[in-house]
């Protein structure tokens, strides 16, 4: 393969990763909503430990387990933050009523202004 073909393959894989990460985020948000509805905590260390065990078991390289764990630590942190932000947003909406900014988001983060 040429360098350009390899780069195209990386670009295609990146698009797939973005799609999968967004699907994971939607599922994490659904889990967060269920946790709130059933009065469970957002942070569950035992569940995170199980996720790390699962990814290490599925890992066949070339990424070392420790590096894959670091990547997942960040992914889980972002997903937990999404859950907490949604919860805070719902609490604010209940106390302050609907937002009047039309849901405008910053382009850098995609978060509401």
Q: What is the pLDDT of residue 87?
A: 79
Per-residue pLDDT of the chain (113 residues; tens, 9 = 90+): 999 999 999 999 999 999 999 999 999 999 999 998 999 988 899 999 999 999 999 999 999 999 999 999 999 999 999 998 987 887 777 777 655 555 555 555 565 54
112 located within any domain: no
Q: Answer left, alpha or beta for residue 39, where phi above 0 means left and psi between -120 and 50 means alpha.
A: left
Q: Which of 24, 8, 49, 15 is nearest to 32 (CA)?
A: 24
Residue 59: Cβ within 10 Å count:
14
Asked whether residue 5 is domain-assigned, the answer is no
CA distance 84 to 58: 29
Q: How many domains does the chain have?
A: 1
Domain encompassing residue 32: 21-89
**Which residue, 84, 83, 88, is CA-closest to 99?**
88
Q: What is the CATH number of the domain that holds 71?
A: 1.20.59.10
Does residue 26 fall inside a structural domain? Answer: yes
Is there a domain that residue 44 lies in? yes
């Amino acid at each position: 393969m040429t360098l350009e073909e390899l780069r195209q393959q990386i670009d295609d894989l990146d698009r797939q990763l973005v799609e999968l990460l967004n699907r994971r985020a939607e599922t994490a948000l659904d889990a967060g909503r269920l946790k709130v509805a059933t009065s469970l905590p957002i942070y569950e260390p035992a569940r995170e430990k199980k996720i790390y065990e699962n990814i290490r078991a599925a890992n066949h390289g070339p990424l070392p387990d420790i590096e894959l764990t670091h990547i997942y630590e960040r992914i889980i942190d972002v997903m937990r933050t999404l859950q907490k932000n949604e919860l805070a947003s719902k609490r604010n909406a209940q106390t302050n009523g609907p937002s009047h900014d039309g849901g405008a988001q910053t382009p850098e983060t995609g978060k509401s202004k």
